[in-house]
């Protein structure tokens, strides 16, 4: 255990501890002074404690991030904090400036929350447009001098603590440490740093270690509770990274007549730019309240489906369902990308973000969704992997009232790859959940598959699925880029067949509307079996299969019109 005598290690751990203690103390100030939550509620509300725990992990991450530059200075081979006294002066200056800046961010965050009920985010930069007025408002509203004095006092105490730590660790005489012990300690320290930055140790998928993200703080669906789990410095950075682009009003006014006509606006008004329109109940609307089950088919485009013309017959189950369902031959997603399809399928609004995805924007997690119009429904969302991917968990839990989100950490089945458990196991465990639900109320379930995606894993436990022995040339002639990709499509279809068997055995098949749709097409080789325009215009990326399967409720029908993902929820809602 000689590595415990390392001066650098002791300084790094001590500095991290001091910074974390400061941030935890500031979090306590927020909880008691600004959150508006009665401390007595923590005794009987588990969500408050869990969210606070998430916040403390963010605090630890920030502490580690602040220590990392000094860790580099400490572990440099010759010019380092141990040997060069001048670098320690640099370290002191670093702490003075860093803690001073971070402290002011916290102070602004407290005032921002007290004024608007929202944690500090990049939208605060708009106040710089009228900096003089903003400055006067702050000066006349808050005791600025007293706040500044209080922070200078805290800053002075912590600065002295860091100087004291430096003298107790870096300033003491060295002790001999064996190389093996030092290597072991360094490795252990590196693992600890990585885990602190990751922010999670439970249910960790080493193939896809999704870090703790701001969206995890929103698991309760309550913005007031979520505020307890955010770190103002990290959250400000996240919102700044997401961008603050606004709509272009002159462009909207210029094109308003065309857009209003296209959308069928009832009473167009170029002045107010209204897009309101009313749609009466459809003639196919059912009087009963059946279950609804959305099944998103990962990376499945129409070019890979037999019912749409693929000559290799890779999807016999979907092909059979197409003859028994409302079969949409020209269904399009507005943009490619799984997270963008999740967004549009829930909100009914295309994801038009130019960078990243709308799900990654911390300020727009709460969206209007027609799923909430399914009143008295039990709402569930199932995904085989980590729902923190692309921050979709925030959209789901903030927008869908009362939803139960099941993800990687909830499943009993083993993970098979980066995307979590297999689709077949996801269907099996989801089926068990649906069977156990109360039959007094219908359910709305959204199941998100992931198997038809690289690395195209074929799990060992696959209920007898057999790989195809077609050659690479044969599958490439029908659109697939590899035999593995072709078999992944076949496996997805195989699992859909198993899902239908489970639903029938579970007793909810006849009273459920199954909605199968692809999120986007994947990379293809060539598609001679599809119209030439699909390749020439790039339509193959957005053209995906779409079936509404409810044989006990709806007669089979083929829809030839071009339709889109934004209209999916209104169609199902009737």
The per-residue pLDDT for range 73-89, each reduced to its tens digit, is: 988 887 888 888 889 99
Q: Do both 303 and 196 map to the same domain?
A: no
Q: Do both 365 and 473 map to the same domain?
A: yes
* CA dihedral over 455, 411, 369, 47, signed as positive or negative: negative
What is the percent of the chain with per-residue pLDDT over 70, rounded to a whole number?
Answer: 99
Please count the other Cβ atoms lying within 10 Å of the Cβ belonging to residue 385.
22
Please count the other Cβ atoms lying within 10 Å of the Cβ belonging to residue 325.
24
- Of 213, 228, 243, which marks where a domain is finished? 228
Tell me whether residue 135 is in a domain: yes
Cβ 503 vs Cβ 512: under 8 Å: yes
Q: Do both 224 and 297 map to the same domain?
A: no
> Which pLDDT does position 222 carry in this prediction?
92
| Distance, CA of 108 to CA of 122 (rounded, Å) | 12
Tell me whether residue 156 is in a domain: yes
Q: Do both 220 and 303 map to the same domain?
A: no
- Tell me how many domains the chain contains: 2
Pairing assessment for the beta strands 546-549 and 326-332 based on DSSP bridges: antiparallel
Tell me whether residue 279 is in a domain: no
**pTM of the entire predicted model:** 0.88
> Which pLDDT does position 442 carry in this prediction?
98
Flag whether pLDDT at 4 surpasses 70.
Answer: no
Tell me whether residue 237 is in a domain: no
Q: Do both 419 and 562 map to the same domain?
A: yes
Q: Do both 209 and 332 map to the same domain?
A: no
- Of 206, 228, 250, which marks where a domain is finished? 228
Cβ 199 vs Cβ 88: under 8 Å: no
> Which pLDDT does position 1 carry in this prediction?
58
- Which long-range contacts link 33-40 to residues 24+ away (Cβ below 8 Å)? 33/110, 34/110, 34/113, 34/114, 35/113, 35/224, 35/227, 35/228, 36/117, 36/224, 37/224, 37/225, 37/228
| Distance, CA of 380 to CA of 283 (rounded, Å) | 28
Tell me whether residue 278 is in a domain: no
pLDDT digits (tens, 9 = 90+) for 318-332: 999 999 999 999 999
Q: 131 pLDDT band (50/70/90 cuts)?
A: confident
Tell me whether residue 110 is in a domain: yes
> Which pLDDT does position 244 carry in this prediction?
67
Nearest to 203 by CA among 51, 406, 380, 424: 406
Q: Do both 301 and 168 map to the same domain?
A: no
Which residue bears the tokens 């390749």?
A: 535
- Of 179, 203, 228, which marks where a domain is finished? 228
> Which pLDDT does position 526 carry in this prediction?
86
Better pLDDT: 260 or 136 = 260
Q: Do both 449 and 567 map to the same domain?
A: yes
pLDDT digits (tens, 9 = 90+) for 456-496: 999 999 999 999 999 999 999 999 999 999 999 999 999 99
Chain mean pLDDT for the chain: 92
Tell me whether residue 48 is in a domain: yes
| Distance, CA of 491 to CA of 496 (rounded, Å) | 9
Tell me whether residue 76 is in a domain: yes
Cβ 28 vs Cβ 206: under 8 Å: no
CATH number at residue 422: 3.40.720.10
Tokens of 174: 């060295």
Q: Do both 568 and 440 map to the same domain?
A: yes
The continuous run of DSSP H or E covering 402 comes out as none
Q: Do both 296 and 405 map to the same domain?
A: yes
Pairing assessment for the beta strands 512-518 and 291-297 based on DSSP bridges: parallel
Q: Do both 296 and 220 map to the same domain?
A: no
Q: 395 pLDDT band (50/70/90 cuts)?
A: very high
Burial status of residue 77 (CB atoms within 10 A of its CB: 0-12, 13-18, 19 or more): exposed
Q: Do both 199 and 327 map to the same domain?
A: no
Q: In which domain, by residue range, is 37 found? A: 2-228
């Amino acid at each position: 255990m000689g590595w415990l005598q390392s001066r650098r290690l002791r300084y790094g751990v001590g500095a991290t501890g001091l910074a974390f203690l400061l941030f935890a103390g500031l979090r306590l100030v927020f909880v008691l002074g600004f959150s508006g939550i009665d401390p007595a509620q923590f005794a009987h509300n588990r969500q408050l404690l869990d969210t606070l725990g998430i916040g403390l992990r963010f605090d630890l991450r920030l502490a580690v991030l602040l220590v990392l530059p000094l860790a580099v200075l400490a572990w440099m081979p010759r010019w380092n904090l141990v040997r060069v006294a001048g670098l320690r002066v640099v370290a002191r200056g670093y702490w003075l400036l860093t803690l001073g800046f971070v402290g002011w961010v916290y102070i602004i965050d407290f005032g921002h929350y007290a004024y608007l009920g929202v944690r500090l985010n990049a939208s605060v930069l708009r106040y710089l447009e009228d900096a003089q007025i903003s400055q006067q408002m702050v000066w006349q509203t808050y005791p600025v001098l007293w706040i500044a004095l209080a922070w200078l006092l805290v800053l002075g105490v912590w600065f002295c603590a860091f100087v004291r730590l430096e003298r107790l660790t870096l300033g003491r005489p060295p002790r001999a440490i064996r190389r093996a012990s030092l290597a072991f300690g360094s490795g252990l320290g590196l693992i600890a740093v990585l885990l602190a930055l990751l922010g999670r140790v439970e249910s960790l998928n080493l193939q896809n270690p999704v870090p703790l993200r701001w969206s995890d703080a929103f698991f309760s669906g309550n913005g007031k509770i979520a505020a307890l789990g955010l770190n103002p410095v990290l959250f400000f950075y996240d919102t700044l990274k997401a961008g603050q682009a606004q709509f272009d009003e002159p462009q909207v006014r210029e094109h308003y007549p065309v857009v209003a006509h296209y959308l069928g606006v009832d009473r167009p008004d170029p002045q107010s730019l209204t897009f309101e329109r009313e749609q009466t109940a459809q003639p196919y609307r059912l009087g009963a309240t059946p279950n609804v089950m959305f099944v998103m088919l990962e990376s499945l485009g129409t070019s890979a489906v037999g019912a749409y013309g693929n000559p290799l017959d890779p999807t016999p189950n979907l092909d059979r369902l197409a003859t028994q369902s409302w079969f949409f031959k020209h269904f399009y997603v507005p943009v490619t990308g799984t997270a963008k399809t999740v967004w549009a399928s829930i909100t009914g609004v295309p994801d038009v973000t130019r960078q990243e995805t709308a799900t990654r924007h911390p300020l727009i997690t709460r969206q209007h969704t027609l799923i909430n119009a399914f009143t008295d429904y039990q709402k569930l969302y199932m995904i085989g992997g980590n729902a923190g991917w692309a921050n979709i968990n925030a959209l789901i839990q903030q927008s869908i009232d009362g939803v139960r989100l099941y993800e990687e950490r909830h499943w009993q089945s083993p993970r098979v790859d980066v995307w979590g458990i297999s689709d077949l196991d996801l269907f099996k465990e989801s089926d068990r959940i649906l069977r156990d639900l109360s039959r007094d109320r219908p359910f709305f379930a959204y199941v998100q598959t992931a198997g038809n995606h690289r690395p195209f894993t074929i799990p060992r436990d696959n209920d007898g699925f057999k790989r195809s022995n077609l050659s690479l040339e044969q599958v490439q002639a029908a659109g697939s880029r590899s035999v593995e990709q072709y078999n992944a499509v076949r496996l997805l279809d195989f699992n859909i067949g198993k899902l239908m068997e489970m639903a029938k055995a579970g007793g909810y098949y006849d009273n459920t509307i199954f909605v199968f749709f692809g999120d986007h097409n994947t990379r293809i080789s060539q598609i001679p079996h599809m119209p030439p325009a699909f390749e020439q215009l790039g339509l193959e990326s957005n053209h995906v299969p779409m079936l509404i399967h409810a044989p006990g409720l709806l007669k089979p029908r083929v829809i030839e019109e071009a339709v889109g993902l934004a209209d999916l929820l209104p169609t199902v809602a009737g």
